[in-house]
Amino acid sequence: MNTQTAPSPQFYLTAPATCPYLPQEMERKVFTHMVGERAPELNDLLTQGGFRRSQNIAYRPACESCRACISVRIVAGEFSPTRSMRRILALNSDVVSTEYPAEPSSEQYSLFRRYLDHRHQKGGMSDMSVLDYAMMVEDTHVNTKIIEYRLKVEGDGIGAAKGPLISAALTDKMGDGLSMVYSYFDPELSDRSLGTFMILDHIRKVRDRGLPHVYLGYWVKGSRKMDYKTKFLPQEHLMAQGWERYTGEGTVTESD
**Residue 64 and residue 82 in one domain:** no
pLDDT for the residue 162: 81
pLDDT for the residue 3: 47
**Residue 24 and residue 51 in one domain:** yes
pLDDT-derived band of residue 57, with 50, 70 and 90 as boundaries? very high
DSSP state, residue 227 = G
**Residue 124 and residue 163 in one domain:** yes
Tell me the CA distances in angstroms from 73 to 19, 212, 223, 244, one per residue in order.
23, 9, 18, 10
pLDDT for the residue 185: 97
pLDDT for the residue 222: 75
Q: Looking at the domain assignment, is residue 3 inside a domain?
A: no
Output the average pLDDT for the chain: 89
| Residue 254 predicted with pLDDT over 50 | no
pLDDT-derived band of residue 253, with 50, 70 and 90 as boundaries? very low
pTM beyond cutoff 0.85? yes
pLDDT for the residue 255: 40
Q: Looking at the domain assignment, is residue 1 inside a domain?
A: no
pLDDT (average), residues 209-233: 91
Lowest mean pLDDT among 94-103, 112-121, 173-182, 199-208: 112-121
**Residue 153 and residue 48 in one domain:** no
CA–CA gap between residue 52 and residue 203 (Å, rounded): 19
Range of the domain at 52: 12-68
Q: What is the CATH number of the domain that holds 89?
A: 3.40.630.30
**Residue 54 and residue 174 in one domain:** no
Residues 234 and 75 sit within 8 Å (Cβ to Cβ)? yes
CA–CA gap between residue 144 and residue 170 (Å, rounded): 7
| Residue 4 predicted with pLDDT over 90 | no
